[in-house]
């Protein structure tokens, strides 16, 4: 029977608990013991630069930034006996198999550090499996900024407010702030409450409704947030047109239908509706061709009248730019744009947006009028499609 000398050590905890500092401390001690150490980190963590691991108190050490855990094997040197991985929660689950390979095939000491819980208070990435595999697990605590108690949660704040449960777990380049919080001071609006009704088993209310679980990765904007924001938009639009209330709402088919319907229900100014069907996508395509075609034009004249274009989502801007130029040539009294979703990262044509429901990351979204291969427009929320469902696998 073969005996393996490798071992796995997991350092976990919330933000500001000293995980990276503890990892670096163990690395320093290994080097003092004349052991060959290599440090790795995910390339998406570039807060202190790609080539270093840094703790919040300023200690640093050189590291190799990799996109995939499998890339670690390409950089591994023959003399290495200790591998340290920081921010391990950001890696794919295959990181568990990589760690097992290092321990069992190469008899290495593997030290990993990462968040055990995401901002929602849910297990983060591969951390549960790593903790189960480990010979040693150390859970560190920070200090709660509210109570001074031991903190175990990472509070995400966006514009000073607690982030909603349905926000993406990993957000790159977003304007956000984190605080260490004790459990009782950790706030996550929209987090499902445990359902303790006995029906054979104790269950949780699912974040991804079972009806859509084969195509839905997670809910980006839930029904309550959607309707609350639409009410705010309607109030703003009604106020802006209060002194000149004759408005034509121009819905861009097909995706805007649900949004436009709920929006017009809440408007308090007189308005009429009309529709255009415009596309820059071919049949079955998910990327714009840039070639915009008008499939159906307006029935009524807009000359001398206030026009509000109602869109479901703006990404590249090609389609909307064509529509705006076309309608401007018909000499409306005013022309404004209202979109439910704005995907700024995808913008290729500058567009002036007067009313925006939500700025969203560059992910494939569907539901609430937006389709996935022409289906799922009826979902009452905005969801993010699984990569394989969106043709991104």
Active site residues: 87
Q: Residue 177: what are its φ and ψ, rounded to 5°? A: -140, 150
Token pair 């974040």 is found at 207
**DSSP assignment string, 266-288:** H--S-EEEEEEEEES--TT--S-
Element holding 62 (H helix, E strand): strand 60-62
Residues 171, 160: contact at Cβ < 8 Å? no
Q: How many residues does the chain have?
A: 393
Tokens describing residue 193:
């409450």
Kindly report the number of other CB atoms within 10 A of residue 376's CB atom.
Answer: 20
DSSP state of 90: G
E-strand spans in 116-243?
136-140, 142-143, 150-151, 153-158, 161-162, 177-181, 194-199, 201-204, 216-221
Measure the CA–CA gap between 385 and 14, rounded to whole angstroms: 29
Residues 115, 141: contact at Cβ < 8 Å? no
Residues forming beta bridges with residue 381, ordered by sequence position: none
For 219-255, what is the HEC assignment? Answer: EEECHHHHHHHHHHHHHHHHHHCCCCCCEEEEEEECC
Kindly report the number of other CB atoms within 10 A of residue 299's CB atom.
Answer: 8
Tokens describing residue 391:
């043709």
Element holding 54 (H helix, E strand): strand 52-54
Measure the CA–CA gap between 279 and 371, rounded to whole angstroms: 14
Measure the CA–CA gap between 116 and 130, rounded to whole angstroms: 10
């Amino acid at each position: 029977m073969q005996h393996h000398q490798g071992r796995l050590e997991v350092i976990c905890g919330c933000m500001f608990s000293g995980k990276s500092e503890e990892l670096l401390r163990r690395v320093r001690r290994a080097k003092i013991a004349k052991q060959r150490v290599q440090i790795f980190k995910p390339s998406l963590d570039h807060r202190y630069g790609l080539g270093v691991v840094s703790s919040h108190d300023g200690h640093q050490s050189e590291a190799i930034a990799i996109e995939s855990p499998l890339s670690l094997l390409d950089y591994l040197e023959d003399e290495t006996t200790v591998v340290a991985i920081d921010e391990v929660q950001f890696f794919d689950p295959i990181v568990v198999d990589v760690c097992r390979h290092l321990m069992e095939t190469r008899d290495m000491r593997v030290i990993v550090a990462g968040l055990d819980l995401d901002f929602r208070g849910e297990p983060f990435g591969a951390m549960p499996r790593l903790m189960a595999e480990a010979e040693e697990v150390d859970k560190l605590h920070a200090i709660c900024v509210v109570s001074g108690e031991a903190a175990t949660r990472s509070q995400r704040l966006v514009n000073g407010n607690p982030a909603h449960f349905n926000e993406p777990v990993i957000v790159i380049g977003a304007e956000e702030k984190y605080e260490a919080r004790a459990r009782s001071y950790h706030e996550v609006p929209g987090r499902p409450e445990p359902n303790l009704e006995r029906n054979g088993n104790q269950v949780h209310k699912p974040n991804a409704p079972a009806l859509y679980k084969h195509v839905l990765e997670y809910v980006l904007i839930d029904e309550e947030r959607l309707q609350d924001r639409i009410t705010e938009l309607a109030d703003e639009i009604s106020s802006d047109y209060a002194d000149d209330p004759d408005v034509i709402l121009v819905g861009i088919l097909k995706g805007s239908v649900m949004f436009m319907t709920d929006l017009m229900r809440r408007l308090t100014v007189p308005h009429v509706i009309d529709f255009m069907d415009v596309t820059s996508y071919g049949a079955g395509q998910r990327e714009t061709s840039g070639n915009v075609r008008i499939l159906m034009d307006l029935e009524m004249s807009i000359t001398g009248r206030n026009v509000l274009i109602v869109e479901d989502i703006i990404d590249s801007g090609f389609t909307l730019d064509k529509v705006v130029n076309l309608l401007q040539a018909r000499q409306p009294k005013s022309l404004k744009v209202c979109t439910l979703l704005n995907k700024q990262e995808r913008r290729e044509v500058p567009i002036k947006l007067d009313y925006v429901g939500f700025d969203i990351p560059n992910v494939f979204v569907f539901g609430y009028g937006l389709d996935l291969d022409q289906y799922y427009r009826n979902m009452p929320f905005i969801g993010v499609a699984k990569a394989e469902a969106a043709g991104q696998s």
